[in-house]
Amino acid sequence: MTLKELAQILGLSPTTVSRALNGYPEVSESTRRRVAEAATRHNYHPNVQAKRLATGRAMAIGHVIPISTQHEIVNPVFADFIAGAGEVYARAGYDMIISIVADDDEEQAYRTLRSKGNVDGVIVHGPKRGDPRPALLDELGLPYVVHGRVSDYAAPYAWVDVNNTRAFERGTAFLSDLGHRRIALVNGLESMDFAARRREGYEAALAARGLARDPALMTAGEMTEAQGYDAACAMLSLPDPATAFLTSSLLSAMGVRRAIEERGLALGRDVSVLTHDDELSYMKNGTELPIFTATRSSVREAGRICAQMLLDRIAAGPEAPIATRLLEAVLVVGQSTAPARHLIAS
Amino acid sequence: MTLKELAQILGLSPTTVSRALNGYPEVSESTRRRVAEAATRHNYHPNVQAKRLATGRAMAIGHVIPISTQHEIVNPVFADFIAGAGEVYARAGYDMIISIVADDDEEQAYRTLRSKGNVDGVIVHGPKRGDPRPALLDELGLPYVVHGRVSDYAAPYAWVDVNNTRAFERGTAFLSDLGHRRIALVNGLESMDFAARRREGYEAALAARGLARDPALMTAGEMTEAQGYDAACAMLSLPDPATAFLTSSLLSAMGVRRAIEERGLALGRDVSVLTHDDELSYMKNGTELPIFTATRSSVREAGRICAQMLLDRIAAGPEAPIATRLLEAVLVVGQSTAPARHLIAS
DNA sequence: ATGAAAGCGCTAACAA
DNA sequence: TTGTTAGCGCTTTCAT
Instruction: Give B139's contacts (C-beta < 8 A, 6+ positions apart).
Output: none
Residue A58 CA, nucleotide C11 C1', distance (Å)? 20
Residue A74 has pLDDT above 50, yes or no: yes
Place A284 in a pLDDT band, splitting at 50, 70 and 90.
very low
Specify the pTM. 0.85
| Contact state of B87 with A100 under an 8 Å Cβ cutoff | yes
| Any domain includes B41 | yes
Average pLDDT over every residue of A141-167: 95
CATH number at residue B74: 3.40.50.2300
| Any domain includes A138 | yes
| Any domain includes B52 | no
Supply φ then ψ for residue A283, to 5 degrees: -60, -45
Which residue's alpha carbon is at the shortest distance from the C1' of C7? A54
**B17 lies in which domain range?**
3-46
Place A334 in a pLDDT band, splitting at 50, 70 and 90.
low
| Any domain includes A51 | no
Instruction: Give A171's contacts (C-beta < 8 A, 6+ positions apart).
Output: A201, A202, A205, A246, A274, A276, A295, A331
Tell me the chain A residues in contact with residue B80 when contact means C-beta distances shorter than 8 Å: 71, 73-74
Tell me the chain A residues in contact with residue B43 when contact means C-beta distances shorter than 8 Å: 115
Q: Do residues B171 and B288 share a domain?
A: yes
Place A339 in a pLDDT band, splitting at 50, 70 and 90.
low
Q: Do residues A186 and A228 share a domain?
A: yes
Per the structure, the count of domains in chain B is: 3
A276 three-class SS: strand
* Nucleotide closest to residue B7 (CA–C1'): D3
- Chain Cα centroid distance, residue B117: 25
- C-beta of residue B118 within 8 angstroms of C-beta of residue A49: yes
Q: Do residues B250 and B311 share a domain?
A: no
| Contact state of A97 with B95 under an 8 Å Cβ cutoff | yes
Judge if the beta carbon of B42 is closer than 7 A to nucleic acid strand C: no
Chain C nucleotides with an atom closer than 7 Å to a protein C-beta: 1-5, 7-13
| Residue of B89, B98, B265 best to disrupt the A interface, most CBs of A under 10 A | B98
Residue A36 CA, nucleotide C10 C1', distance (Å)? 31
| Contact state of A47 with B116 under an 8 Å Cβ cutoff | yes
* Nucleotide closest to residue B13 (CA–C1'): D3
* Nucleotide closest to residue B116 (CA–C1'): D9
| Any domain includes B64 | yes
Q: Do residues A138 and A261 share a domain?
A: no
| Any domain includes B39 | yes
Q: Do residues B283 and B147 share a domain?
A: no
**Residue ranges for chain B with pLDDT beneath 50:** 280-292, 345-346
Q: Do residues B22 and B65 share a domain?
A: no
Q: Do residues B84 and B23 share a domain?
A: no
Q: Do residues B180 and B259 share a domain?
A: yes
DSSP string, B28-91: -HHHHHHHHHHHHHTT----HHHHHHHH----EEEEEEETTSSSGGGSHHHHHHHHHHHHHHHH
The pLDDT tens digits for B177-212 are 989 999 999 999 999 999 999 999 999 999 999 999
| Contact state of B117 with A47 under an 8 Å Cβ cutoff | yes
Across the A/B interface, how many CB contacts are shorter than 8 Å? Answer: 175
Q: Do residues A83 and A222 share a domain?
A: no
Nearest chain A residue to B261 by CA distance is A261
| Any domain includes B117 | yes
Average pLDDT over every residue of A277-282: 55
Judge if the beta carbon of A19 is closer than 7 A to nucleic acid strand C: yes
Percent of residues, chain A, with pLDDT higher than 90: 49
CA distance A93 to chain B (A): 10
Stronger pLDDT, B342 or A97, i.e. the higher one: A97
Q: Do residues B81 and B129 share a domain?
A: yes
DSSP string, A307-325: HHHHHHHHHH-TTSPPPEE
Helices A106-116 and A133-140: angle between axes, nearest 10 degrees: 20
Q: Do residues B227 and B303 share a domain?
A: no
| Any domain includes A261 | yes
Residue A279 has pLDDT above 70, yes or no: no
Q: Do residues B288 and B238 share a domain?
A: yes
CA distance B76 to chain A (A): 5
Place A343 in a pLDDT band, splitting at 50, 70 and 90.
low
